[in-house]
Amino acid sequence: MTIFTLGDRYMGKVSVVLVVLLLASLSLNIYFIHEPVRVDTGVLKERISALEEENRYLKMELYQTNISLQQAREQLATYREQLAELRGMINRTSASPESGSATLDAPAVMQRVEYSGEFPFYTRRVIEEGTMMKVSVDIKPGEGRVLVETTPLMGVVFQDAANNAVAAAENYLGCDLSGSDVIF
């Protein structure tokens, strides 16, 4: 019997020690859960300041790039007008204006990018959506203008595409459309 009572006393002490350790562990866990995360605000303020400065620089660079792009577009438009006038003068004296029409189905694809995750561990997925659209072109005697008639009205992207298409057609076919209006 003394062996069992000695073991019971030993088990009682072990149980008390385990209960004390369990309570200490629970107390520390509760402390760490409720303790607010301490962040060095000085480092965060410096980082925010650096990001704001970089943002200002990038905005200025974007503004200057947009101005340069606008100036280049205006200069290109001026050169195209001058070229059309010169071709018109040549056509009035030498050739008759072209005329005709055509229609085709063309694909229109829009890309958009979706980001998921948080910086610096994010993923980028490019999604392409598209449809087929009917494109028609009429060439009529005129002044060498390239006109885009869309419903609803679209931006300069369609106008640029139309101008490029007319220039490509002139180069490919070797004909001069400066005496004709091209209407898309």
DSSP state string for 153-183: ---HHHHHHHHHHHHHHHHHHT---TTEEEE
Beta-sheet pairing, 121-141 with 180-183: antiparallel
Q: Give the whole-angstrom CA distance, residue 184 versus residue 178.
A: 16
Name 125's bridge partners.
114
- Per residue in 112-153, pLDDT tens? 888 888 877 788 888 888 888 888 888 888 888 888 887 777
Residue with tokens 């303020």: 45
| 179 neighbors 98 (Cβ within 8 angstroms) | yes
| Reduced DSSP (H G I as helix, E B as strand, rest coil) percent helix, strand, coil of the chain, to 5 | 55, 25, 20
User: Which sign does the torsion angle of CA 89, 94, 100, 103 carry?
Assistant: negative
- Per residue in 2-47, pLDDT tens? 455 556 666 778 888 888 999 999 988 888 777 666 667 888 888 9
The pTM is what? 0.42
> What is the band of 92 on the pLDDT scale with cuts at 50, 70, 90?
low
CA angle, residues 92, 95, 98, in degrees to nearest 5: 105
Nearest to 182 by CA among 99, 86, 91: 99
Beta-sheet pairing, 100-118 with 146-147: unpaired
Cis peptide before 152 (omega within 30 of 0): yes
Joined together, the tokens standing for residue 132 give: 């087929």
| 115 neighbors 122 (Cβ within 8 angstroms) | yes
